Amino acid sequence: MTALPTCSAIVVTYNGRDYLDRCIGALLDLDYPAIEILAIDNGSRDGSVAYLREHFPSVTVYENTSNNFASAVQLGIDRSSGEFVALVNNDTQLDRQWLRVLADYLRAKREVGGVAGKICFPDGRIDSVGHVRLADHYWSDRGIGERDRGQYDRIEAVEGLCWAAALFRRDCLDEVGEIDRQFVMYFEDVDYAERCRRAGWELHYVPEAIALHEGGASSQGSNLTDYFCNRNRFLFLAKHEPDQLLGAIDSSGFMIRQRWDWLLEAMTMAWHKLMLHHDAATVDRLLPSLVDRVAKLCGGDGVNLALAKLSAIHGDRPLTIAIYDHALHAIGGGQRYIATLASVLQDRFEITFIANKPVEIAQIEAWYGLTLDRCQIEILPIPFFDRQNAEVDGTWVTAETPENPFTLIADRSADFDIFINANQLTRVEPRSPVSLFFCHFPDSWRDAHFAADRYTLLIANSHYTERWIRKLWNLEPSLQLYPPVVTPAMTPATTPHREPIILSVARFDSGGNKKQWEMVQAFRQLRDRDPARLQGWRLVLVGGSTGESEYLEKLCVEAQLDRAIELHVNLPLDQVNGFYGRASLFWHLCGLDEFLPERVEHFGMATVEAMQQGCIPIVFDGGGQREIVEDSVSGYRVATIEALIDRTLKLIRNPIQRHAMTQRVRDRGQRFNLDQFADRVNTLFDEISREFMTIALPDPGEIYRECKTLSIDEIHADL
């Protein structure tokens, strides 16, 4: 006696626990012993998975990662092993002879790839005896709603099969290929039937195989069904009959109900299908008229955005990034941070810097030792500030300001795929599909025109900044990304002799925020404490400045009066690095005696630069410095001038201790190097690119919640 071929039965379930006893029970009772049963759960919240595992231990249960019927069926096919594969809805109850009848038929008819029997509603009316095409490119279950009078009691070839209860030959599934997951639910069986026929496989109806189908148990009614049938009708035509796509728009349910949002979403996916499945000549012939029609109905902005996304998905152009920094024209740590990010990404993206004041790419390269030859720059002056001959400052824009002057930047951001607000200017609203807000510190209130909460991602430069974003803005940062710190590598053999220099590198802020004046006074006290040991030691203050200020002039006077104090303004990068390599100690006191958290160093790039060169840091014990310097291990953290003097004097008196600490300082500094920064940036933008290059599929649960307010009678009247 010939052994029966193994059959795999795949049951997809979504919140259908109440149907499982009847469905699985009928499968276990089939007159066909060579069967394996696989249940694929689509994210049920009714305990279906636990119920299956407890009550049906012989059933293999898999959990799908999304609520996608087509994906769930394919998962079942991939995990199954049978020569024949049965697709069974969770609200279907099979007659005991169902599988034997259909399996025997497939064994006898080698040209048939799939077969189904008579599917009836519980009251005996016909649910489906195959698929039939209707007018206006709709499809229906043949015989649906009819009383069974024997009118469909003959075997015949059909245009398609209802997957509530169908049996496929494995060879057919392998040849035709995977189910199209983009259909999500409904029409995936119509699409697959078309593909079967084109591959030469016949689909047959055999009336002796009986199945009872509740209908709509998981899809929760006609509203959801109508949504997906209208959507997927477009996808089917775009894939198989593209010349019919334009004419199908006006007869769609979306058009009738004026659901322009659903129409645009569906047509975007349809255009994607058109580009995937047809040659360039066909796309060029059909797309303009389709775009024109949808733009008239849905508006040009949404259509343009959809087309831009599709052009990137299909490789016609790289993704574009705009990086806006209102202080790009001035040398600063935040500017180095974002310029380095651009240098990491420039080979993969088309990057444009947007600035408000004149600055050139060559200047940025020289300031930070970077190559940005693939980037471009665009200067967009903001008249509101230019009329007052003022630097761009977000705090000038209040509730009383007639118009937000940063609307100019917001409007320009809409022309890019990704918009980066690089310097925490909260008044700029993002209008690009993806937007990133880089926050060095939340130094403004959530007041008029606040827009930081409208960005796709909110990125903090340190854990210190993260904490204050939560406190001051009540927002949760998306991730924390330390700034990159890049200094020339120096091996012990090439490291110059350490000179008796105490170095400070910080911007000469007009308000004295970086505490250079306090350092001058501390240095003098240090010399008074031990004049002999301090003989020959110098305090070197290095920093950037955009112009003259009273604070800088006061420091210049001190340097002129004391030859042991040097002041260097806007030094070239190589000279700054030279001081890092020669200096023995590094001071940084930003935050000392401050009560406002924004006046504390939020990270401390200069500290890391010094550490990477082996210059021992002695820094204020607060802000981001705590994340950099391990106290007494890779430097010292101090809270007072007295502690600064004490720690410094001990190191000056003990050169052996200084030498021993130098390597630990270098090693710690390398934790914030370019390689680690680049790895995190590339990982982040890989994820952004993947999401951007993917057209999101609708979630049936969300669609159901949105359309459930429409009455069934209303929908049927529209159709």
On whether the 499-672 domain is CATH 3.40.228.10, my answer is no
- Predicted local distance difference test score (pLDDT) of residue 493: 43
583: tokens are: 């200096």
102: tokens are: 């259909």
The SS3 of residue 597 is helix
Query: Do the Cβ atoms of 573 and 367 come closer than 8 Å?
Result: yes
**Domain residue ranges of the chain, discontinuous segments joined by +:** 7-219, 223-317, 320-480, 499-672
Question: Which parts of 381-472 fold into alpha helices (H)?
Answer: 383-386, 407-413, 463-468
What CATH number is given for 7-219 in this structure? Answer: 3.90.550.10
Top pLDDT among 346 and 301 is at: 346
Return d(Cα 186, Cα 196) in angstroms, integer. Answer: 17
- Predicted local distance difference test score (pLDDT) of residue 168: 98
Query: What's the CA dihedral at 160, 163, 165, 166 to 10 degrees?
Result: 50
Return d(Cα 525, Cα 502) in angstroms, integer. Answer: 14
Paired sense of beta strands 92-94 and 202-213, if any: antiparallel
- Predicted local distance difference test score (pLDDT) of residue 301: 87
Query: Does 144 score more than 90 pLDDT?
Result: yes
Q: ∠ CA(243), CA(245), CA(247), 5° rounding?
A: 95
DSSP 448: T
Query: Does 444 score more than 80 pLDDT?
Result: yes
Highest mean pLDDT: which range of 308-312, 492-496, 524-528, 572-576? 524-528
Question: What residues pair up with 86 in beta bridges, in sequence order?
Answer: 9, 167
Query: What's the CA dihedral at 422, 425, 428, 432 to 10 degrees?
Result: 20
Residue with tokens 């035709």: 176
Q: pLDDT exceeding 70 applies to what percent of the chain? A: 96
By the 10 Å C-beta count (0-12 exposed, 13-18 middle, 19+ buried), 632 is classed as: exposed
- Predicted local distance difference test score (pLDDT) of residue 69: 94
- 112 Cβ partners below 8 Å, 6+ apart? 105, 106, 169, 201, 202, 203, 204
On whether the 320-480 domain is CATH 3.40.109.10, my answer is no
- Predicted local distance difference test score (pLDDT) of residue 711: 45
Query: Does 494 score more than 50 pLDDT?
Result: no
Paired sense of beta strands 156-157 and 418-421, if any: unpaired
Return d(Cα 368, Cα 339) in angstroms, integer. Answer: 8
Query: Does 106 score more than 80 pLDDT?
Result: yes
Q: Would you give the distance in Å from CA 693 to the centre of its chain?
A: 10
Task: Report how far apart, in Å, the C-alpha atoms of 626 and of each of 390, 631, 680 are.
Answer: 35, 8, 21
The tens digit of pLDDT for each residue in 612-629 reads: 999 999 999 999 999 999
The three-state DSSP-derived secondary structure of 225-292 is HHHHHHHHHHHHHHHHCHHHHHHHHCCCHHHHHCCHHHHHHHHHHHHHHHHHHCCHHHHHHHHHHHHH
pTM, 2 dp: 0.78
- Predicted local distance difference test score (pLDDT) of residue 269: 96
- 558 Cβ partners below 8 Å, 6+ apart? 520, 565
The tens digit of pLDDT for each residue in 475-488 reads: 999 999 999 987 77
Question: Which parts of 423-472 fold into alpha helices (H)?
Answer: 463-468
Task: Report how far apart, in Å, the C-alpha atoms of 530 and of each of 275, 534, 565 are.
Answer: 78, 6, 17
Task: Report how far apart, in Å, the C-alpha atoms of 576 and of each of 369, 571, 606, 607 are.
Answer: 11, 6, 10, 13
- Predicted local distance difference test score (pLDDT) of residue 453: 96
Per-residue pLDDT averaged across 94-111, rounded?
96
Return d(Cα 98, Cα 116) in angstroms, integer. Answer: 9
399: tokens are: 């509730």
* Amino acid in the structure at residue 44: S
Per-residue pLDDT averaged across 50-54, rounded?
95
Task: Report how far apart, in Å, the C-alpha atoms of 435 and of each of 323, 394, 430, 498, 695 are.
Answer: 10, 19, 6, 45, 17
Highest mean pLDDT: which range of 214-223, 454-463, 490-499? 454-463
Return d(Cα 114, Cα 172) in angstroms, integer. Answer: 8
Return d(Cα 253, Cα 584) in angstroms, integer. Answer: 76
Per-residue pLDDT averaged across 524-542, rounded?
95
Query: Do the Cβ atoms of 87 and 8 come closer than 8 Å?
Result: no
Per-residue pLDDT averaged across 237-258, rounded?
95
599: tokens are: 């006046």
Expressed in angstroms, the distance from the first to the final Cα of the chain is 55
User: Do the first three CATH levels of 7-219 and 320-480 match, i.e. the same topology?
Assistant: no
- 75 Cβ partners below 8 Å, 6+ apart? 40, 62, 64
- Predicted local distance difference test score (pLDDT) of residue 490: 54
Task: Report how far apart, in Å, the C-alpha atoms of 368 and of each of 163, 357, 459, 605 are.
Answer: 62, 18, 22, 12
191: tokens are: 């699409």
Return d(Cα 457, Cα 522) in angstroms, integer. Answer: 42
- Predicted local distance difference test score (pLDDT) of residue 222: 64
The tens digit of pLDDT for each residue in 412-440 reads: 999 999 999 999 899 999 999 999 999 99
Long-range contacts of 433-438 (CB under 8 A, 24+ apart): 433/305, 433/309, 433/692, 434/688, 434/691, 434/692, 438/334, 438/337, 438/338
Per-residue pLDDT averaged across 28-43, rounded?
95
The tens digit of pLDDT for each residue in 344-382 reads: 999 999 999 999 999 999 999 999 989 999 999 999 999
Question: Which parts of 325-406 fold into alpha helices (H)?
Answer: 333-345, 361-368, 383-386
Return d(Cα 504, Cα 540) in angstroms, integer. Answer: 6
Paired sense of beta strands 202-213 and 156-157, if any: antiparallel
Among 555, 467, 457, which Cα is nearest to 506's? 555
Return d(Cα 306, Cα 154) in angstroms, integer. Answer: 48
- Predicted local distance difference test score (pLDDT) of residue 541: 97
Please count the other Cβ atoms lying within 10 Å of the Cβ belonging to residue 290: 20
Task: Report how far apart, in Å, the C-alpha atoms of 577 and of each of 487, 628, 666 are.
Answer: 7, 19, 14
Per-residue pLDDT averaged across 281-287, rounded?
97
Round the CA-based radius of gyration of the chain to a whole number and report it: 35
Among 509, 448, 507, 437, which Cα is nearest to 479's? 437
DSSP 567: E
Phi, then psi, of 619 in degrees rounded to 5:
-130, 165
Query: Does 596 score more than 90 pLDDT?
Result: no
Phi, then psi, of 163 in degrees rounded to 5:
-85, 10
Question: What residues pair up with 539 in beta bridges, in sequence order?
Answer: 502, 565
Q: Kindly indicate the confidence band of residue 495, based on its pLDDT and cuts at 50, 70 and 90.
A: low
232: tokens are: 């997927």
Per-residue pLDDT averaged across 171-186, rounded?
96
Query: Does 108 score more than 70 pLDDT?
Result: yes
Q: Kindly indicate the confidence band of residue 716, based on its pLDDT and cuts at 50, 70 and 90.
A: very low
